[in-house]
Chains A and B, each alone.
Chain A
Amino acid sequence: MNTLLVLAGIGVFGLFSEIFRFKKALLPVVFLGLAAALVTTVCDWNTNVSYFNNMMKVDNFSLAFSAVMICITMLWFIISPGFFTDETSKSDHFTLILFALTGGVLMSSFNNMVMLFLGIEILSISMYILAGSNKKSLASNEAAFKYFLMGSFATGFLLFGIALIYGATGSFDIDVIATRLSEGNLNSSVMLFAGILLTMIAMAFKVSAAPFHFWAPDVYQGAPTVITAFMSTVVKTAAVAAFFRLFIHTFTSMTEVWHTALMIISAATILVGNITAVYQTNVKRMLAYSSIAHAGYMLMAIVSMNSAAPSALLFYVIAYSVSSIASFTILLMVSNSTGNDSIESFYGLGKKNPFLAIMTLISMLSLAGIPPTAGFFAKYYIFIAAMENHMMPLVLIAVLGSLIGVYYYFRVIIAMFRDGNEKEIDFSGRYKLVMIIAGILALALGVAPGIVTGLL
């Protein structure tokens, strides 16, 4: 709760900085604010209180996901100063990021359909603008427009869904809905089925699951790289957390309506994401497809529906975000020096910059899920959760997907050891800092996953 206030507070502070001209102080203040938000999140651990007439509920699940999002945002702010060079819109961009984060926190702690809707909208509207923040680039404008159109479409689905569920159960409160559903006396089951399926489609769109993923590659590629980094980590975390909370908490007694469909969506997402990624020559687009594939693995945690699932999802999100932010940092530096995002930009990296090569190696291994990195354990944990629910075919598809994944992640590694491209890459200490933090986390979580697995 305090987390939300702090985040919204520094967001508003960012807006004022435009009027009162203290933009220089913005970054330190935002950093302190995020640190404060993190502290309040940690302090709330194990309290389990609900606020605003049960509109939102702060439990360990929401705290854990909020903390992850805040930490990733802090890492993100370290690498992003290059993005805030445009003086006229500097404070707006700061504020939008903070508001997006606020929306993300709401999405992980909602206890009412209305709050879910608000959270999603706060996050999405900020992201629509940020995707188009590189105003001079056609691709960025296209990304924003596409994201906005498709996003509002999905929002429409969500609203329809919420309305129908309200019609069937007479409440927005997910606790009440869950009780009504388990009791079974409903006004209209057709309305309810349609409502659940519509919300599922909307959420699948938000996490970019197949077949609702078509916006993702274009938006990810068109948006400025730092914004893509934010979208594929914080936004994705918020979306899966909301998805999980909604379906596991609210619709558990209605599994026959959505379970099979979501399982197919999960399998399709894994296959489509991985297979399409193989054909990409642009690393940024490849990472976009890889992020779609990872959404499929995260959905596996939702369809597992057992006690291991929340921790498995949390672990996966952390492992994925950490390695993802590292890979985007690397991509940012490489493309800054070579001027494009293609795989050829990585040629010769191993020879001229061993540090960067090692970091690339760690993050690619982690994304591919090879021990001893966090990514391996994340997949492992998800597989365990799924197999406990006897979903062997899904696990085998996921294994197949991982194998395909190795192919394109390793293409980046192989590219580093090809000849060519002798140009030096200059990178400042802050990139190094983020990469070292991410690298250490990726290895530490792989060797001692116990630090996170016991949390939820």
Chain B
Amino acid sequence: MLSLLIFFPLLAALVTAFSGEHAKKVAFAAAIVEFAYSLCLFFRFDPVGGIQFTENFAWITNLGISYHIGMDGIALLLIMLTTFLVPLIILSSFNHKYKSPSLFYSLILTMQFALVGVFSAYDGFLFYIFWELALIPIYLICLMYGGKDRLRITLKFFIYTLTGSLLMLVALIYLWLQTPGTHSFDLQALYALNLSSVEQSWIFWGLFLAFAIKMPVFPFHTWQPDTYVDAPAPGTMLLSGIMLKMGVFGVMRWLLPIVPQGVAEWGNLAMILSVIGVVYASMIAWVQKDFKRLIAYSSIAHVGLISAGVFSLTFQGLHGSVIQMISHGINVVGLFFIADMIEQRTGTRDMDHLGGLRTTAPGFATYFMIIMLASVALPLTNGFVGEFLLINGIYQYSQILAAFAGLTIILGAVYMLNAYMKISLGEAKSVAKHFAALTLTEKAVLVPIVIMIFLIGIYPKPLLEIAGPAVEALKLSIQTATSLK
């Protein structure tokens, strides 16, 4: 029952909203139950069985809108990522005191509801509803619990993403009108459309802008660094760890197979923008003083590489992007948690004022180093698997672009190691002198992340096997769509 997986967080959010001071425990328990349930689905999933756990019934009959959900390998992995990260995000916020915690945790769970919905929707309208639903809780989290410039920044964030969403809505309605008979929003009906190449170009841009803003791809990224920095730590983790993947996922399921000719025409530009994003964001990350802002830019760089892999339309590129979405989700949540702990303990995020954590807090510095190396994509960590496949895929598409995209290996190492050096090595600065030891809850967040880093890094086979057939099917549907049109 996939519906249960979608609606359980919503129910939990309602319960949490009325649980007063116990909110965080209730929310955590609910998130764990959700994770356990998703594990059940994970083990029942058959990698070569195509789309599974399908449910399909009419919702708004006279407009051809149905409640059609299901999941393939790609969706399964992203749903697992969501259910794995949400309990960690909730746990990571335990050492913060948020005012009206019942509302805060209720919003996080509502967000989870929408995210799982986005990944399982097979009906365009349903997808759009979940897509927009995900925006409201995160907006409120940032608005009510963010930093001091939150009012301006969150409005910019909201209007930016809503612009994309509305363009997507117009594109979806246009597609809906082209479907034969009484019209339908079903994904298969949209795949079967026969659009002219001019129409495809317009639809491509309508949909691509929505996804590009969400990811974000250069030059639609300007909302992102401010929002990431200003949002409360759990909000940043939700945004970067999971919400960003909505954009990539959207490209895979709702863009490539629907307008293959549009992609053929404009995919090259999308690719170039993505690669520019990789280099540009890495360079900016390099000169950041604020550690949280550095991670925000590194996130743009990573997602640029993922998006370039997707638009390469090669098996390796697509495969790698699925794996990298999972790895990036795990690593970036880890990094933001590290940044949050540093800020809480020392009161600053400025790397020039930090230093010497290696000597004052060796345990912490070790966790930091592992997560940092995973983010740099050292072999045997999870970051390597995806990045290797991605660069391989981009290389097949264009050697020149691959050369630029490959810079991420060097630049990523440069800014990350630089940050690690400034924060952990050298002489302990005054703020870092009394760095409290890790608490149990903090370890409970870091240990699963580190386990996943090594598990995926050393033995990525199960992941690859789940994603493989789904990517194969995606490639096939792009090919059939291209040959039809």
Contact = CB atoms under 8 A, between A and B. Distances in A.
Interface of A: 350, 354, 365, 370-372, 376, 380-381, 383-384, 387-388, 395-396, 399, 402-403, 406-407, 410, 413-414, 417-418, 448-450, 453-454
Given A403-B166, A414-B143, A414-B151, A371 B128 contact: yes
Interface stretch (B35-43, B56-64, B439-447): B56-64
A294 B129 CA distance: 22
B177 A387 contact: yes
A383 B62 contact: no
Nearest to B144: A417
A383 B176 CA distance: 12
B158 A454 contact: no
B133 A372 contact: yes
Contacts of A414: 143, 151, 154-155
Given A403-B162, A406-B162, A418-B151, A372 B129 contact: yes
Contacts of A402: 166
A406 B136 contact: no
Nearest to A361: B140
Given A383-B169, A399-B166, A399-B170, A406 B158 contact: yes
B103 to A, nearest CB: 8
Contacts of A403: 159, 162-163, 166
B15 to A, nearest CB: 17
B174 interface: yes
Given A406-B158, A406-B159, A450-B62, 12 more contacts: A354-B103, A371-B133, A381-B63, A383-B170, A387-B177, A403-B166, A410-B155, A410-B158, A414-B143, A417-B143, A418-B151, A453-B63
Residue among A388, A396, A399, A448 with the highest chain B CB neighbour number at 10 A? A399
Interface in B156-182: 158-159, 162-163, 166-167, 169-170, 173-174, 176-177
Contact of B167 (A399, A418, A453): A399
Interface residues of B, number: 30
Given A384-B173, A387-B174, A399-B170, A454 B62 contact: yes
Given A370-B136, A418-B151, A450 B162 contact: no
Nearest to A376: B132
B404 to A, nearest CB: 34
Contacts of B136: 365, 370
Contacts of B166: 399, 402-403
Contacts of A417: 143-144, 151
A401 to B, nearest CB: 10
Residue among A354, A376, A450 with the highest chain B CB neighbour number at 10 A? A450
15 contacts: A354-B103, A365-B136, A370-B162, A371-B133, A380-B169, A380-B173, A384-B173, A384-B176, A396-B170, A403-B162, A403-B166, A407-B155, A410-B158, A448-B60, A449-B60
In order of increasing CB-CB distance, the 3 nearest A-B pairs are A371-B132, A399-B166, A450-B60
B167 A450 contact: no
A387 B170 CA distance: 9
A387 B158 CA distance: 26
A450 B167 CA distance: 24
Contacts of A418: 151
Determine chain B's interface SS by DSSP, over half rule: helix
Given A370-B136, A383-B169, A399-B167, A407 B62 contact: no
A266 to B, nearest CB: 17
Contacts of B59: 450
A275 to B, nearest CB: 14
A370 B161 CA distance: 12
Nearest to B60: A450
Contacts of B154: 414
A13 to B, nearest CB: 41
A414 B59 CA distance: 34
Contacts of B61: 450, 454
Contacts of A454: 61-62
A30 B163 CA distance: 46
Contacts of A370: 132, 135-136, 162
A371 B129 contact: yes
Contacts of A383: 169-170, 173
A407 B132 contact: no
A387 B173 contact: yes
B141 to A, nearest CB: 12
Contacts of B129: 371-372
A450 to B, nearest CB: 5
Contacts of A407: 155, 159
A399 B169 CA distance: 9
A324 B15 CA distance: 30
Interface in B55-90: 59-63
Nearest to A368: B162
A418 B155 CA distance: 14
A365 B59 CA distance: 22
Contact of B62 (A380, A387, A453): A453
A370 B132 CA distance: 7
Contacts of A449: 60
Contacts of A380: 169, 173
Contacts of A399: 166-167, 169-170
Interface in B399-422: none
A398 to B, nearest CB: 9
Contacts of B144: 350, 417
Contacts of A388: 177
A296 to B, nearest CB: 16
A395 B159 contact: no
A309 B178 CA distance: 19
A383 B63 CA distance: 13
Nearest to A413: B143
A407 B158 CA distance: 9
Contacts of A384: 63, 173, 176-177
B143 to A, nearest CB: 6
A226 B112 CA distance: 40
